[in-house]
Amino acid sequence: MKISARNILDGTVKEIKKGATTAHVLIDVKGLTVTASITNEAVEDLGLKPGAKVKAIVKSSDVMVAVD
C-alpha cells in the first residue's frame, strides 16, 4: 500500500459500534484510543473485528493545540 498521508498509526481494533449507516471503530494505539467513523459497508468490506491489526491513517489540513 502506498499513500500520501504521513500520520500512520499501527493499532488493534478494540470495539466496533455500528449505527444505522455508520460505525465507530475504536482502535488501540499504544494504550490510547483512536476512533474512526466509517460506513458499516466498509467495516464488512475490510473484515474488521475486535483484535484485528489495522492502521489508523490521519489526514488533516489543520491541527489545533490549546492550553488552559
Mean pLDDT of the chain: 93
Grid coordinates belonging to 24:
465507530
pTM of the model: 0.84
- Write down all domains in the chain, each with its CATH number in brackets: 7-58 (2.40.50.100)
- Averaged over 16-23, what is the pLDDT? 98
Grid coordinates belonging to 29:
494505539
Q: Which residue has the higher pLDDT, 41 or 61?
A: 41
* pLDDT tens string 26-45: 999 999 999 999 999 999 99
Return the SS3 of 40.
helix
- Averaged over 14-35, what is the pLDDT? 97
Q: How many whole angstroms from its chain centre is CA 53?
A: 11
The predicted structure's pLDDT at residue 65: 83
The predicted structure's pLDDT at residue 38: 96
